[in-house]
Amino acid sequence: MQSALTLSAPPALATLEQGRAVALFVDFDGTLVELAKEPDSIAPAAGLADHLMTLAHRLQGRIAVVSGRTIDDIERHIGPLSIAVAGSHGSDIRSAFGKSLGNVARSLPAQIDAALRTYANENDVIYEHKAHGGALHFRSNPEAGESASAFAKKVASDHGWKAQSGKCVIEIVSGDGNKGSAVRTFMNTPEFQHARPFFVGDDLTDEAGFAACQELGGAGILVGERDETFAQYRLPDVSSVHTWLEI
């Protein structure tokens, strides 16, 4: 790992394409859309889904959105996606043709859902139920973060699931998926094979994607700053991501 402060901007996408086929894996919140205090408060750029489809044509299908959100939730905000997409931190993976890839996504157990919901109601944090996980958001109440994280980690451990931290959020997800495993699943499909993979993301959960791309001969591109990262390049903000992607 290295400090984000030492990272330079990535070469232009057109430059990367000159040497070898490129595959892109792109986070959603904080990367394609600005972060918001609540998950439903985001304001995606108009025509984002169409712009991503145009980029997919350019890359011959070698692009995927890889997000902590469910696929349905992403599409609720930007419309139907006709490109590859992985939701729920790699627990639910879908090809550009609508085919499910990898293991069948596990539903969040009712006991975990109830525990998180009750905790949120009693501790001034926001609970987000997901089909394949659950999250406690504390962006509007940062002081609650430490106790919320400790609670979620215990609940996850008690039920054999996994807790992972993000920006002002702690999420409980199934233990068999992450953004790195999503990258590897896509890279084993005909559309992505033999390409050089790049993962663009801003959050701690994206580090698994950065590491996977590096292992497969590509690189991670961090959005924003972090003390340490597996990424090899950095872009400062969402606007610069759109510029780099040429969308």
Report d(CA 205, CA 124) in Å as an integer: 24
**Which helix (H) or strand (E) segment is 180 a member of?**
helix 179-187
Report strand pairing: 133-137 vs 22-26.
unpaired
Report d(CA 155, CA 226) in Å as an integer: 28
Closest CA to 89 of 191, 208, 187, 192: 208
In terms of Cβ atoms closer than 10 Å to its own Cβ (0-12, 13-18, 19+), residue 75 is middle
Report d(CA 55, CA 57) in Å as an integer: 5
Catalytic one of 27, 202, 203, 206: 27
Report d(CA 242, CA 247) in Å as an integer: 5
In the residue annotation, 237 being an active-site residue is answered as no
Within 13 Å, how many C-alpha atoms sit on residue 53's CB side? 11
Would you name the residues annotated as active-site residues? 27
